[in-house]
Amino acid sequence: MLTGALATFAAALIVIVASAAIGAGVLAACGGRRWSWTAPAIGLAGATVVAWWAVRLPGHGLTALGAVVALAVAGGSLAISRMSDLRQAALQGAPVLLVGLVGVAIPFVVEGHFGVLGTGFNVDMSQHLFAADWLADPTGEKPSLFEQGYPLGPHALAVATDEVSGELSSSFTGVTIAIPVIAALTALAGLREWTWWRATLVGTLTAFAYLAASYLAQGSFKELFEVVFLLGFALWLRDLGDLNESQAREGWRAGLPGAVLAAGALYAYSTPGLAWLGGALLLWAGLALARRPD
């Protein structure tokens, strides 16, 4: 069993790497031939949905981990065979990844130990850990969150990574700190023409400004999931205008990344998550119509 920092960062890296691979596979399956930094957000959405359904099957956490890893391997393999610029993307993303991992470690450095985030302000994590523990071993009384229809996709991811770390609270913390790093990587999709150091700075600040405002003190996590999906969705909508002729011929598959993001929002933030994406879609459509020549 892993403990402390090792368990926390192992869970975080599993989520980050799997999200990037799954998202790249989705984009490649939809005709993409070049890497897009919307991939980590798309992949996180896919992993969240798959983990939720897989954790309910026999084997629970192990089944969920296997499903996420299998999807990541399949997606990564497809992306490697179809995308020509993955090495360049890895070099661009490495500084953001490293800075992001340092950034999410700040609360632990300040406190002098690793553990559950936000307990000094909000004790909600206790019921989330109870729900996650029930998903891992669904015996006994069902948790109130499950009975109320609370979105448990993030909890399922924590249960999946717990198969590696062996400590559910550390896994949940690891999943939580992975999300700002994914947000920082996703922000690079809007910074394609920037120098690497400016893109690293702005991408990191994009994620951590939200982190500081909404999360550090109280340990909220589903809001972090939603902001990643909203950011990824907005940047994916922008990329729709840049589709080449071969991608445009993909038809409905061109819209698959947006559908995956919407599914992720539903399983992490419930129906209000879809409302945020719907608002972004309406705003994008309105601006597109306004810019059309008469």
Is pLDDT above 60 for 28?
yes
- Reported as a single tens digit per residue, the pLDDT across 193-247 is 888 889 999 988 888 876 655 555 555 788 889 999 999 999 999 888 665 555 5
Least confident of 11-25, 78-92, 106-120, 131-145: 106-120
Average pLDDT of the segment spanning 141-160: 93
Buried-state track 206-244, b at ≥16 Cβ within 10 A, e below 16:
bbbebbeeebbebbbbbbbbbbbbbbbbbbbbebeeeee
Instruction: Specify whether the CB–CB gap between 215 and 173 falls below 8 A.
Output: no
Count up the domains in the chain and report the number: 1
Question: Chain centroid to CA 115: how far?
Answer: 21
Least confident of 15-24, 168-177, 235-244: 235-244
Cβ atoms of 168 and 134 closer than 8 Å: no
Q: In this structure, are residues 232 and 22 in contact, taking their beta carbons and an 8 Å threshold?
A: no
Residue 112 has pLDDT above 90, yes or no: no
Q: What is the mean pLDDT of residues 116-136?
A: 80
Rounded Cα–Cα distance for residues 105 and 72 (Å):
26
For 66, counting Cβ atoms within 10 Å of its Cβ (0-12 exposed, 13-18 middle, 19+ buried), the class is middle
The residue among 137, 286, 104, 64 whose CA lies nearest residue 211 is: 104
Look at residue 72 and tell me whether its pLDDT is greater than 90: yes
Phi/psi of residue 191, nearest 5 degrees: -125, 35
Mean pLDDT of the chain: 88
Q: What is the pLDDT of residue 69?
A: 98
Q: Write out the residue range of the structural domain in which residue 83 sits.
A: 4-291
Q: What is this structure's pTM?
A: 0.92
